[in-house]
Structure 1
Amino acid sequence: MSGRTAGRTGRRAHGRTGERTNAKTNGQPAAETDAQADGDRRRVADEFGKAVNMTAGELERWLDTDESKSVGQKDGGGESVGHESGRKIIELLRGKRSDRTDADYAHMSKVVGYVHRHLAQRPSGDVTKTRWRYSLMNWGHDPIK
């Protein structure tokens, strides 16, 4: 099979040197890719830990407020994207790290990106009672904390 997988099934194949590869690794040895993925996950988890500065309890209490529910992009008049994200963040903060899935790490990365983008757009003056702060808090970051 010369280092390629058979079709698009993701079945494991062996490279020229007998190393295990699969479709998800683009022909790279599986162990090397696993190590890269572990490093990426650690980086995302570290960045998430820095971006999210609210505890699960603080975020849960915040999401129950009228201010929290008043901000964010709402699809069809329902819950805002940020509010839904906040609920997912609570699950991540309360859950076991060993139980995190690829989807969890993808969400954590999304949270980091959102927080960084919006911090760069900080309005001038007192931000205590601003929609900007409320939106960030829905994503687990209180900029005045």
Structure 2
Amino acid sequence: MMSEDALEKDALWEDFHRVVNMTSAELAAWLRAIDADETTEPLPEHAGPEIGQRVLSILQKRRTDLTEDDLRVMEHVVDTVTAEIDPENEPTAEDTDRRHRLMTLGHDPLKP
């Protein structure tokens, strides 16, 4: 029988992967793109804001390798994306600030 803690961890894992709809490759490319300028591009492991780097790191882990800090980040991402998502009013391509903010968390609202 699974413990309550293990069930909560499994539910969080499922919720995180439901709201994070970008692959690790897509997120890594996005993080590099937002930090690049006309003449330079950051090293992949230093690209983008820390939260985006943490989401990318979690995407590359197995469920059994998650740390307590990873779980806190996952909860934050699930809560933030869930609060921002409005199925009736998904952002359009013109709503770039909101879309880019969500993409930094691994959620592209324009993806089906």
Same fold at TM > 0.5: yes
Q: Which runs of 5+ in 2 are unaligned?
A: 38-46
Q: Which has the higher contact order (CA 8 A, sep 6+)?
A: 2
TM-score normalized with structure 2 length: 0.77
Amino-acid identity (%):
29
Task: Report the CA distance between 1:66 and its aligned residue.
Answer: 3.2
Task: Report the CA distance between 1:106 and its aligned residue.
Answer: 1.4
Give the aligned residue type for 1:100. Answer: L
Task: Report the CA distance between 1:126 and its aligned residue.
Answer: 3.0
- Is residue 140 from structure 1 mapped to residue 109 from structure 2 by the alignment? no
The one of 42, 55, 61 aligned to 2:23 = 55
Q: 1:86 to 1:131 in 2, by over 3 A?
A: same
Question: Which portions of structure 1, spanning 4 or more consecutive aligned residues, are displaced by more than 2 angstroms?
Answer: 66-69, 120-129
Higher helix proportion = 2
Q: 1:99 to 1:126 in 2, by over 3 A?
A: closer
Q: 1:35 to 1:88 in 2, by over 3 A?
A: same
Task: Report the CA distance between 1:130 and its aligned residue.
Answer: 1.1
Q: 1:123 to 1:130 in 2, by over 3 A?
A: farther
**Paired residue secondary structure (1:65):** helix
Equivalents in 1 of 2:76, 2:86: separation in Å? 16
The one of 114, 126, 130 aligned to 2:96 = 130
The superposition leaves residues 15-68 of structure 1 with CA deviations (integer Å, 9 ceiling, x where unpaired) of xxxxxxxxxxxxxxxxxxx81110110110010010000011100000112389
Q: Map 1:26-37 to 2 at 5 A.
A: 35-37=3-5
Give the aligned residue type for 2:103. Answer: M
- Is residue 66 from structure 1 mapped to residue 34 from structure 2 by the alignment? yes
Task: Report the CA distance between 1:128 and its aligned residue.
Answer: 4.7
Give the aligned residue type for 2:61. Answer: G
Give the aligned residue type for 1:87. Answer: Q
Check the 8 A contact 2:92/2:110 in 1, yes or no.
Answer: no
Equivalents in 2 of 1:91, 1:131: separation in Å? 24
TM-score normalized with structure 1 length: 0.60
Task: Report the CA distance between 1:129 and its aligned residue.
Answer: 5.4
Task: Report the CA distance between 1:119 and its aligned residue.
Answer: 1.3
